[in-house]
Amino acid sequence: AHLVAEKGLGSQPDTTLVFGGGSAGARGAMFHLDSVAANIAEATDGNVTSTLGFLDSPFWVDVETLYTDTLTSLMDQAAQIQALSNGFDTSVTGEACRAVYMNDAAPSGTTSAWKCVYGQYRLPFVTTPYFVIAQQFDSFQLGQDLGHAPSTDDEYAYANAFGAATRALVSTLPSHNMPAAAVYSQACYNHCISMSSAFYSKTTDGGVSESSALREWLKDPETSRRWVDSCDGYACGSGC
């Protein structure tokens, strides 16, 4: 309502709204993208005819930390938040995702509704066209899972397995719920670079930057596109 009243959103017909964020902001945008898309057309008397998502690095992967005795996994953190909040409202989880995981038993008497705020599980339920960035060696999650950048043989092996898992999971996107989406995944150790010059300079092995890929997708967002590195080995991307 504020954007409509104060910023003039939808003051012109055939307006496209790109709704998104980076890191935690991307997770929030992922949760609310469908509801924003559903509500914005009505709020602008139909002048916003297209809502698209730009999701930079929301794609947390369900892998246990390497050091389980000292580090808390992102899955456990999400489940703890669920327990503290007595669950999540459907405006966050989405009704379809909640229906799948709400009655799925989890440790400590909780449900698995936490999965609906976790990228690996939540993104397949998004039904609004989106552009998602999921780097194969996401430095935020690896930092959470290792406590630092990889530096030992065991840590490099862990990072390589993490990268392979990420690449395998992004290959399943978009899901049948959203046939039109763009997936961008460098084999690089970074996180949420869209707010830096690396948005323009870092590329996939094919030489395509995040900026160029996004620009290309926005020309035809009803068509699915993929820019995913396929090399093997830690931070092996030639454009890193």
Residue 110 is predicted with a pLDDT of: 59
Residue 39's pLDDT band (cuts 50, 70, 90): confident
Residue 108 is predicted with a pLDDT of: 52
Answer whether 117's CB lies under 8 Å from 92's CB: yes
Rounded Cα gap, residues 50 and 129, in angstroms: 9
Q: Say which residue, 79 or 88, is predicted with more confidence.
A: 79
Residue 226 is predicted with a pLDDT of: 97
Cis ω on the peptide bond leading into residue 107 (within 30° of 0)? no
pLDDT tens for each residue of 63-81: 999 999 999 999 999 988 8
The mean-pLDDT minimum among 1-5, 30-34, 38-42, 191-195 falls in: 1-5
Residue 164 is predicted with a pLDDT of: 98
Residue 72 is predicted with a pLDDT of: 96
Residue 133's pLDDT band (cuts 50, 70, 90): very high
Strand order in the sheet with 15-22: 15-22, 48-56, 130-133, 181-185, 225-228
Residue 54 has pLDDT above 60, yes or no: yes
- The number of angstroms, rounded, from the C-alpha of 158 to the middle of its chain's C-alpha atoms is 21
Rounded Cα gap, residues 76 and 233, in angstroms: 28
pLDDT tens for each residue of 169-203: 999 999 988 878 999 999 999 999 999 999 999 99
- The number of angstroms, rounded, from the C-alpha of 60 to the middle of its chain's C-alpha atoms is 7
Strands (E), the chain: 15-22, 48-56, 130-133, 181-185, 225-228
Measured CA to CA in angstroms, residue 48 lies from 4, 13, 37, 70, 155 at distances of: 10, 7, 9, 48, 47
Enter the DSSP assignment of 203: B
- The residue behind tokens 């998602």 is 132
Share of the chain above pLDDT 70, in %: 95
Rg from Cα positions in the chain: 18
Answer whether 127's CB lies under 8 Å from 178's CB: yes
Mean pLDDT to the nearest integer, 216-232: 96
Residue 87 is predicted with a pLDDT of: 65
Q: Say which residue, 87 or 129, is predicted with more confidence.
A: 129
Enter the DSSP assignment of 14: S
Residue 82's pLDDT band (cuts 50, 70, 90): confident
